[in-house]
Amino acid sequence: VIFETVSVQGHPGFIAVDEVRVLAHPCRKAPHFLRLQNVEVNVGQNATFQCTAGGKWSQHDQLWLQQWNGKDTALMVTRVVNHRRFSATVSVGDTSQRSTSRYRCVIRSDGGSGVSNYAELIVKAPPTPIAPPELLAVGATYLWIKPNANSIIGDGPIILKEVEYRTTTGNWAETHIVDAPTYKLWHLDPDVEYEIKVLLTRPGEGGTGPPGPPLITRTKCAGDDEGCGVFGSQHVASSQAVNPPTDTLLPPGPNTHGGEGAFGSLGGGLKMPLINFSLSANDL
């Protein structure tokens, strides 16, 4: 049996108990609460307690939720379940940060007063990876990664892993569910830089946390590595400085003989096409 009293700060108080009766059955006039259950929500979500009591409900009865520190919430709207039971639901305001607090139901009626047990309001923070995904392999059209979701900020358990990726220059993003230790992103564009993040979700509404740190990497070039990127552009530019073959004959000399048409003849009797090279100063 617990007796409670509220005294004004600075003024001593006392409790006087007169005639305590122990009955074999509960008092019919005073309401009796059923056990109040703990409530767990994620940060920023609505939290509600349901107070259920046995007894007759009167419009003059007052029912409210009380915090461990004595702070009361507003009066609750009560719903009559049947002639022997009624219930009320109340929302708790502050769930903006990770915390744990205790609440109970209190009723004051003409037949007496009653309180429930204290139940916990547990506010959990959705999980976020600490480290970016790990790059395992790179191809021209794929990236193989490891989500790296073992170390997190926030609360578990983790019931869902997702990979969010996009190009670093684009404004679109795609999200894929990951159900294995590693994941392969397919159908990517060659020689394009991608940003990859991991999303984690815990139970309950609003359980998905913010994306973790990004992995920024580039796919390989398609085919020959010299065919794209900065090096490829320079290679093509230098190749264009070579002019195509012409039919110009070499002037007669000690190792050549004129009059052979479009071919020059070397001393050994071998014929080869004559090519005129034109080089600019930038190619030297």
**Beta carbons of 168 and 188 less than 8 angstroms apart:** no
Closest by Cα among 93, 127, 121, 147 to 207: 127
The pLDDT value given to residue 261? 44
Of 241 and 196, the one with more pLDDT: 196
Burial level of 203, CB count in 10 A (0-12/13-18/19+)? middle
**Beta carbons of 207 and 171 less than 8 angstroms apart:** no
Whole-model pTM above 0.85?
Answer: no
User: Count H helices, E strands: the chain?
Assistant: 1, 20
Please count the CA atoms within 13 angstroms of the CA of 40 that sit on its side-chain side.
9
Average pLDDT over residues 177-206: 96
The pLDDT value given to residue 244? 42
Write down all domains in the chain, each with its CATH number in brackets: 32-124 (2.60.40.10), 129-226 (2.60.40.10), 241-283 (no CATH)
- What is the per-residue pLDDT across 19-63, written as a single tens digit (0 to 9) for each? 777 776 666 677 889 999 999 999 999 899 999 988 877 878 888
